[in-house]
C-alpha cells in the first residue's frame, strides 16, 4: 500500500451524515441508515462528508497520485484511491473490480467537427463493465455489504444493470434487475446474464421500472443501487477528482456530460464542489448536460427558466414535467422522468452551465466522428460531442476554450446501432405513425464485397482513399 496521507481523516465515515437537500427540511440521518430519500419530507439525500482542511490539499494530491504505483486493490481502484473523501472507514469490506483510472484522450477530429481548436474526451467506457456506472457501483455494493444486505436491485436501461450484476457477483449477493422489455441492447443484457443476475424484463419503459424499484425498496430484503442511492454518487464523484488530476488541477472551461436519470451530472457537480472547498481547484468548470431530443425533460425545464432562475444559488423549480413517452435510439438515456434532476440542475446553475438537447441525426453523426478519432463510444455518450458542436455554434463555448466531453459507455455496448448507421439502415419510429424515420449516416463506412484477388483489393483501397 502507498504511504498513508498525512492528516487525512482515517475514519472518513465517522462524521459523515446523510443530509436532505430540500431547503425547507435539511434533516440529517446516520450514515448507516438504509434510506434513499428523506424519511421526513421525501426530498433527495446527499452524503455530507467532512472535507479535510485546505492545508492538507497538497498532501492529499501527492498521496492520491502515489497510490497509482501501488498494487494494493484499494490503491489500484480509481475510486478508492480517493478514499479520504469517501464516507467509509478503513475496515469497509471494499468490493472492487479496479474501476476508474480511465483515459483522457485528445480528439482532434471531433474538435474540428465541433468547431474547437482542441477537445479532450474522458472515456468512462474503459471501466470493467464498459460504462461509468462501475465507479458508483463499487461504493453502493460496498455499502450493501456493510449493511449486511443479501439482495441488491436496480431499474436500468442496461448499463446500471450490467454493472450491478458484476459487483453483486463479486460480493456474493443476489442481484435483481428490472429492465424495460425489448428496449435495452443485447450486449448489455448479455452481460447481466453472464454475471448471474435475476433479470426481470417488464412491459413498460424505464420510468415504470424506476417507480417499481422504489416500491421494492420498501421491502427489507432489497437494497436499491440506482443513483437515487447517495452512495452511488459518492463513488461517481471521484471521476471529477481523477479528471482534475489529469488536467494538472487546472479546470477546463467546460465539462459536458450526457443526461438521463441525472446521477452522473449530479456526481460531477458534487465532486467539483468538494475540490473547490478543499482549495484543490480555484474555480468550477462550467458543467453542461446534453439530452436526446425525444427524452429531454430537463433541457425543456431549463429552456423555460428566466435569467433570475438561472443564476447560481437561485431557488429551483418545484417540479419537473416528465416526458410520458420518451423516444431515442440512444437507449441508455431513454428516460422521461429523471430522479436526480434537482441535484443536476443545481450543479449546472451553480457552475453557469447549460442544459440542451440534440437530434437523433446529430447524435449518430457525432458518434461516427468520435469513432474516427479511434475512440468509439455508445450512442448516449455521443450526445456530448453533438452538444458541444451546438454550443460552439451558439457562441456559448468559444473556439479557443478548453473543453472536456465525458464518454459514458463503450462502443461495443451497442454494435447493432453502429452497424445500421454505417450500412445506411438506421431509423427511428416516428410519433404515432408506424412509419420509421430514416437517419442518413453522413460518415458511413460500410463493408464492401470485393473479389478475392490482390488487384481487386488494391483497387478498392485506392478508391477508398
Residue 159 as a binder of ligand F0G (CB under 6 A): the answer is yes
Of residues 394-413, those binding ligand F0G (CB under 6 A): 408-409
Residue 158 as a binder of ligand F0G (CB under 6 A): the answer is yes
Task: Measure the CA–CA gap between 326 and 350, rounded to whole angstroms.
Answer: 28
Sheet holding 198-202, edge to edge: 198-202, 174-180, 151-155, 222-224
H-helix or E-strand spanning residue 267: helix 263-278
Task: Measure the CA–CA gap between 446 and 40, rounded to whole angstroms.
Answer: 57
Residue spans of alpha helices (H) in 279-359: 297-303, 307-310, 341-350
- Name which position in 110, 129, 157, 337 contacts ligand F0G (CB under 6 A): 157
Residue number with CB closer to ligand F0G (13 or 354) = 354
- Closest approach, Cβ 80 to ligand F0G, in A, equals 21
Residue 127 as a binder of ligand F0G (CB under 6 A): the answer is no
- Closest approach, Cβ 413 to ligand F0G, in A, equals 7
Residue 357 as a binder of ligand F0G (CB under 6 A): the answer is no
Of residues 249-268, those binding ligand F0G (CB under 6 A): 258-265
- Closest approach, Cβ 314 to ligand F0G, in A, equals 22
- Name which position in 239, 292, 332, 386 contacts ligand F0G (CB under 6 A): 332
Task: Measure the CA–CA gap between 98 and 135, rounded to whole angstroms.
Answer: 9
Residue 328 as a binder of ligand F0G (CB under 6 A): the answer is no
CA 457, chain centre distance (Å): 42
Residue 160 as a binder of ligand F0G (CB under 6 A): the answer is yes
Residue 229 as a binder of ligand F0G (CB under 6 A): the answer is no
Q: Is the dihedral of CA 211, 212, 213, 215 positive or negative?
A: positive
Task: Measure the CA–CA gap between 215 and 224, rounded to whole angstroms.
Answer: 10
Residues 19/34, Cβ–Cβ less than 8 Å? no
Residues 6+ apart with CB under 8 A from 317: 301, 305, 309, 345
Residue 378 as a binder of ligand F0G (CB under 6 A): the answer is yes
- Closest approach, Cβ 159 to ligand F0G, in A, equals 3
Residue 288 as a binder of ligand F0G (CB under 6 A): the answer is no
List residues near ligand F0G by CB under 6 A: 131, 133, 156-160, 227, 258-265, 332-333, 378, 380-381, 408-409
Amino acid at each position: 500500500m502507498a504511504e498513508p496521507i498525512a492528516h487525512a481523516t482515517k475514519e472518513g465515515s465517522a462524521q459523515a451524515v446523510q443530509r436532505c437537500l430540500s431547503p425547507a427540511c435539511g434533516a440529517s440521518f446516520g450514515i448507516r441508515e438504509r434510506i434513499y430519500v428523506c424519511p421526513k419530507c421525501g426530498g433527495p439525500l446527499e452524503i455530507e462528508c467532512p472535507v479535510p482542511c485546505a492545508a492538507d490539499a497538497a498532501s492529499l494530491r501527492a498521496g492520491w497520485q502515489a497510490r497509482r504505483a501501488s498494487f494494493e486493490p484499494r490503491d489500484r481502484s480509481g475510486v478508492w484511491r480517493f478514499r479520504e473523501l469517501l464516507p467509509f472507514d478503513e475496515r469497509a469490506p471494499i468490493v472492487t473490480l479496479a474501476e476508474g483510472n480511465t483515459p483522457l484522450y485528445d480528439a482532434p477530429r471531433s474538435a474540428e467537427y465541433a468547431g474547437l481548436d482542441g477537445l479532450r474526451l474522458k472515456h468512462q467506457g474503459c471501466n470493467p463493465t464498459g460504462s461509468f456506472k462501475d465507479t458508483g457501483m463499487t461504493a453502493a455494493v460496498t455499502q450493501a455489504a456493510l449493511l449486511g444486505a443479501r439482495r441488491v436491485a436496480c431499474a436500468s436501461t442496461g448499463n446500471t444493470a450490467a454493472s450491478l450484476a458484476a459487483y453483486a457477483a463479486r460480493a456474493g449477493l443476489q442481484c435483481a434487475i428490472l429492465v424495460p422489455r425489448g428496449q435495452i441492447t443485447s450486449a448489455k443484457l448479455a452481460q447481466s446474464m453472464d454475471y448471474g443476475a435475476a433479470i426481470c424484463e417488464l412491459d413498460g419503459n424505464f420510468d415504470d421500472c424506476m417507480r417499481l424499484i422504489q416500491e421494492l425498496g420498501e421491502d427489507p430484503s432489497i437494497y436499491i443501487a440506482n443513483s437515487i442511492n447517495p452512495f452511488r454518487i459518492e463513488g461517481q464523484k471521484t471521476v471529477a477528482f481523477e479528471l482534475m488530476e489529469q488536467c494538472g488541477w487546472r479546470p477546463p472551461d467546460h465539462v459536458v456530460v450526457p443526461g438521463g436519470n441525472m446521477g452522473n451530472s449530479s456526481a460531477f457537480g458534487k465532486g467539483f464542489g468538494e475540490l473547490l472547498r478543499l482549495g484543490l481547484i480555484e474555480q468550477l468548470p462550467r458543467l453542461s448536460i446534453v439530452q436526446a431530443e425525444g427524452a429531454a425533460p430537463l433541457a425543456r425545464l431549463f429552456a423555460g427558466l428566466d435569467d433570475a432562475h438561472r443564476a447560481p444559488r437561485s431557488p429551483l423549480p418545484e417540479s419537473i414535467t416528465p416526458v410520458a413517452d420518451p423516444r431515442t435510439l440512444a437507449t441508455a438515456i431513454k428516460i422521461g422522468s429523471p430522479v436526480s434532476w434537482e441535484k443536476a440542475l443545481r450543479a449546472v446553475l451553480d457552475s453557469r452551465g447549460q442544459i440542451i438537447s440534440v437530434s437523433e441525426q446529430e447524435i449518430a453523426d457525432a458518434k461516427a466522428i468520435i469513432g474516427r478519432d479511434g475512440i468509439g463510444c455508445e450512442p448516449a455518450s455521443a450526445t456530448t460531442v453533438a452538444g458541444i458542436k451546438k454550443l460552439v455554434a451558439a457562441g456559448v463555448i468559444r473556439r479557443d476554450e478548453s473543453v472536456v466531453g465525458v464518454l459514458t459507455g463503450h462502443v461495443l455496448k451497442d454494435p447493432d446501432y453502429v452497424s445500421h448507421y454505417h450500412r445506411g439502415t438506421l431509423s427511428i419510429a416516428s410519433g404515432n405513425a408506424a412509419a420509421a424515420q430514416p437517419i442518413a449516416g453522413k460518415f458511413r463506412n460500410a463493408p464492401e464485397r470485393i473479389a478475392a484477388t490482390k488487384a481487386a483489393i488494391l483497387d478498392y483501397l485506392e478508391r477508398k482513399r
